[in-house]
Structure 1
Amino acid sequence: MSAFEHRAKSLFCFFFLTTFMVFAQDTIPSPIVPDSIVIDTMAIDTIVIRKTQEKIKHIPRGVNLTNPVISFKRTKPLKDRYDRFRVPSFWTKENLFGINVSEAAFVNWNAGGDNAVSGLGFIKFVRNYKFRYVKWDNNVELRYGLNAQEGRKLRKSEDVIRLSSNLGYRRDTISNWYYSVQLNFNTQFSNGYTYPDRATPISRFMAPGYLLFGAGTSYISKNQKFNLYLSPLTMKSTFVLDQDLADKGSFGVEKAVLDDDGNVITPGKNHLMELGILITHNWQVNLAKNVEMKSRLNLYTDYLNSFGNVDVDWELNLTLKVNKYIQTTIGAQMIYDDDILFDEVQNDDGTVIDPGVPKIQFKQVLAVGIAYDF
């Protein structure tokens, strides 16, 4: 290496070290005052730098420098109950319990009148299943009413036990027509009388009792408020389990065979079987915001004995809801059955001269009550 190259290399190293030391010293921030300690060890200077913490000049008003405190004083409870996930159910249900009461009281009333109180209790259970092609509707309805009037004993004003079940199948999920099998059952709780006569009942539990079972087709709307059932083949069974009523041939059963002295030779039948056509219709519609109308219609005619003679059972109810629990009901029911006869004529020894004729039965109800859905 030449002398010129040696000198150039020495100058370059000196320039580099000088520049490095100058710029390294300038990188220390001016506000920071280093606390230096020089240790003389083997001629090596050691510098220890401690960085001081800068104070906060401006503290925001919302800053809380104390320990956090948890308080539930301003915590509001949840208004809505936490809804846990549940497996979807294809069942819908309705449980309805209610009491209707009507009352009339008179004190020194010049026009006259008797104090009276009427009460009616009813329970309704509905269990419906629907999934794709299958639909199964089940209804149970129980009603019983009493009337108390000044100067006379309690009288029955309502008595109904009604059960129905309809199982349907459809070909696709678009159609509202179903192939259906339907079962209906009707009877009553207690004895019925032609008041004021209380000695001889004209009806009892399972006297009569009606069982209808058949197959056909049903049209059921999507909202399930319109149901039309058509059955060309329905079996109707009439049960009269009270032997006294059966011996008289009540409700269409074969009556007993008597001798000349009125003694029973052959007891009356307790069962009557018929085969015919059944049409049922259930319709529910909201006429106004708090006004609902329900219609139930049953039509039946027998193929063998009296084809064309139609048994009618039509019930129409108008419900006016005051609020969730209080409601007013206006209802009417009409029944015509040629097996139920009226105005029977007997001679002095009890022999029936004229069995009577069928008539239209009509009932009207106006009541205010409480209904609870659970």
Structure 2
Amino acid sequence: MTKRITNKTVWFTIILGLAANLFFAQNTIPATTPTDSVSIDTTVVDTIVIRKTLTKIKHIPRGVNLTNPVISFKKTKPLKDRYNRFRVPSFWKKENQLGINVSETAFVNWNAGGDNAISGLGFLKFSRNYKFRYFKWDNNLDLRYGLNAQEGRKLRKTEDVIRLNSNVGYRRDTISNWYYSVQLNFNTQFSNGFKYPDRTTPISRFMAPGYLFFGAGTSYISQDQKFNLYLSPLTQKSTFVLDQRLADRGAFGVEKAVLDADGNVITPGENHLLELGFLVTHNWNLNLGKNIDLNSRLNLYTDYLASFGNIDLDWELNIKMRVNKYILTTIGTHLIYDDDILFDEVKNVDGIVTDPGEPRLQFKQVLGVGVAYDF
């Protein structure tokens, strides 16, 4: 009897609890009215039906163009320029240029007269420049050599240059264009130079002279790096004359040899001249127009010790006009004045120098059309 009453009680309790839950329990999404301030946090997702088989279109309306995509290379054109592959960015900027300028004159039954002639000038330029935040390092190497052949005479040299420049700079911030700089310049030539038509006595040779400038100062370099001004109040200039015959004559400012009464050498001439002075160098690249560029390079130097106030000048001005990617026209001038280079030396009948000569302004003008290749 006790067991039966217990089972009925349990079932009654369960039924009563379910009824109370249905009557008093709150819906999971409460009903709201326009005046309620509580928004419903509910997202409605529409149902998308994807049919397994599509009904084919039997009747295509007029004006509808249904085409299947087809890949065709019939209308494609080859690239004119070589494809540039992606390269990892570098702080180095390099420039390589190789070229030759040629000028030629030929006459056949020419009543006004003239001699057939041809001239050639080969040049090679390397540039390696590094720039990152406060540090900058510029390196340039210029090599030039030219020859002229004229009917009835031997080859003559028209150009001979070896020039190396290196400048290291440091600035205190990335906004300023002023750098603390250390600079090195080196100049010499490839082969013997003569005062034509004399071909027996060279007036210059490789490392005779050779010039080395080394000093410290400050540089102003524009953001586009086309304007560079270097001021050095302390620069050492070394002049090398490694040809003993020229050194004995005291060429290019070195101490000449001491001779006896018969002209015999007692003390050989010096092969090296050391000077300390003030140096100003200036490089400026200016675009004058489409495919027309102007380049100016200027060196000014004066010695503190021997001849302060006498300024050595080296100014080169070139205008380059590029016809296309390979054809290049160059018009250039070059001015040099150095009081250590003397002209019109006078000797007596015994071969003794009576007048060492005087310094003069040297001038050269060049016009060339040729081929230049950048690589």
Give the shorter-chain TM-score range. 0.7 to 0.9
Q: 2:335 aligned with 1:334, yes or no?
A: yes
Partner secondary structure for residue 342 of structure 1:
coil
Unaligned runs of 5+ in 2: 1-52
Superposed, 1:99-248 pairs within 5 Å as: 99-248=100-249
Q: CA deviation at 1:62?
A: 3.6
Q: Rate the CA distance shift 1:200–1:121 in 2: closer, same or farther, 3 A.
A: same
Separation in structure 2 between the aligned mates of residue 235 and residue 55 of structure 1, nearest angstrom: 93
Backbone CA RMSD of aligned residues: 2.0
Q: Rate the CA distance shift 1:276–1:190 in 2: closer, same or farther, 3 A.
A: same
Q: Mean Cα displacement is larger for which, 77-86 or 249-258?
A: 77-86
Separation in structure 1 between the aligned mates of residue 257 and residue 165 of structure 2, nearest angstrom: 32
Structure 2 length as normaliser, TM-score? 0.81
Q: Which amino acid aligns with 2:160?
A: D
Name the structure 2 match of 1:252.
253
Separation in structure 1 between the aligned mates of residue 167 and residue 334 of structure 2, nearest angstrom: 23
Q: Deviations over 1:306-346 (max 9, x none)?
A: 00000000011111221121121111101000000000001
Q: Deviations over 1:2-45 (max 9, x none)?
A: xxxxxxxxxxxxxxxxxxxxxxxxxxxxxxxxxxxxxxxxxxxx
Separation in structure 2 between the aligned mates of residue 350 and residue 54 of structure 1, nearest angstrom: 114
Q: CA deviation at 1:108?
A: 1.5
Separation in structure 2 between the aligned mates of residue 212 and residue 85 of structure 1, nearest angstrom: 40
- Percent identical pairs in the alignment equals 76
Q: Rate the CA distance shift 1:71–1:150 in 2: closer, same or farther, 3 A.
A: same
Q: Deviations over 1:263-320 (max 9, x none)?
A: 1111100000000000000111111112211111000000000000000000111112
Superposed, 1:303-322 pairs within 5 Å as: 303-322=304-323
Separation in structure 1 between the aligned mates of residue 259 and residue 141 of structure 2, nearest angstrom: 40
Name the structure 2 match of 1:295.
296
Name the structure 2 match of 1:268.
269
Separation in structure 2 between the aligned mates of residue 111 and residue 78 of structure 1, nearest angstrom: 53
Q: Rate the CA distance shift 1:96–1:338 in 2: closer, same or farther, 3 A.
A: same
Partner secondary structure for residue 252 of structure 2:
helix
Q: Deviations over 1:51-105 (max 9, x none)?
A: xx997461667477xxx9x866559488477665543200001001110011111
Structure 1 length as normaliser, TM-score? 0.81
Partner secondary structure for residue 357 of structure 1:
coil
Bigger radius of gyration: 1
Separation in structure 2 between the aligned mates of residue 269 and residue 319 of structure 1, nearest angstrom: 41
Separation in structure 2 between the aligned mates of residue 56 and residue 177 of structure 1, nearest angstrom: 77
Q: Rate the CA distance shift 1:261–1:151 in 2: closer, same or farther, 3 A.
A: same
Runs of 4+ that moved beyond 2 A: 53-57, 59-64, 70-87
How many residues were matched structurally? 318
Separation in structure 2 between the aligned mates of residue 275 and residue 258 of structure 1, nearest angstrom: 29
Name the structure 1 match of 2:8.
none
Separation in structure 2 between the aligned mates of residue 216 and residue 259 of structure 1, nearest angstrom: 45
Separation in structure 1 between the aligned mates of residue 329 and residue 295 of structure 2, nearest angstrom: 14
Separation in structure 2 between the aligned mates of residue 258 and residue 241 of structure 1, nearest angstrom: 19
Q: Which amino acid aligns with 1:165?
A: S
Separation in structure 1 between the aligned mates of residue 205 and residue 84 of structure 2, nearest angstrom: 49
Separation in structure 1 between the aligned mates of residue 78 and residue 146 of structure 2, nearest angstrom: 44
Q: Which amino acid aligns with 1:211?
A: L
Q: 2:278 aligned with 1:277, yes or no?
A: yes
Superposed, 1:68-107 pairs within 5 Å as: 74=74, 76=76, 79=79, 85-107=86-108
Separation in structure 1 between the aligned mates of residue 67 and residue 116 of structure 2, nearest angstrom: 78
Name the structure 1 match of 2:6.
none
Q: CA deviation at 1:150?
A: 0.6
Separation in structure 2 between the aligned mates of residue 128 and residue 275 of structure 1, nearest angstrom: 28
Q: Rate the CA distance shift 1:254–1:85 in 2: closer, same or farther, 3 A.
A: same
Q: Rate the CA distance shift 1:242–1:56 in 2: closer, same or farther, 3 A.
A: closer
Q: Rate the CA distance shift 1:259–1:170 in 2: closer, same or farther, 3 A.
A: same
Q: CA deviation at 1:129?
A: 0.2
Q: Rate the CA distance shift 1:57–1:157 in 2: closer, same or farther, 3 A.
A: closer
Q: Rate the CA distance shift 1:55–1:323 in 2: closer, same or farther, 3 A.
A: closer
Q: Rate the CA distance shift 1:261–1:131 in 2: closer, same or farther, 3 A.
A: same
Q: Rate the CA distance shift 1:55–1:289 in 2: closer, same or farther, 3 A.
A: closer
Name the structure 2 match of 1:39.
none
Q: Rate the CA distance shift 1:148–1:84 in 2: closer, same or farther, 3 A.
A: closer
Q: Rate the CA distance shift 1:289–1:268 in 2: closer, same or farther, 3 A.
A: same
Q: Which amino acid aligns with 2:315?
A: W
Partner secondary structure for residue 341 of structure 1:
coil
Q: Which amino acid aligns with 2:155?
A: L
Q: Which amino acid aligns with 1:58?
A: K
Q: Rate the CA distance shift 1:257–1:223 in 2: closer, same or farther, 3 A.
A: same
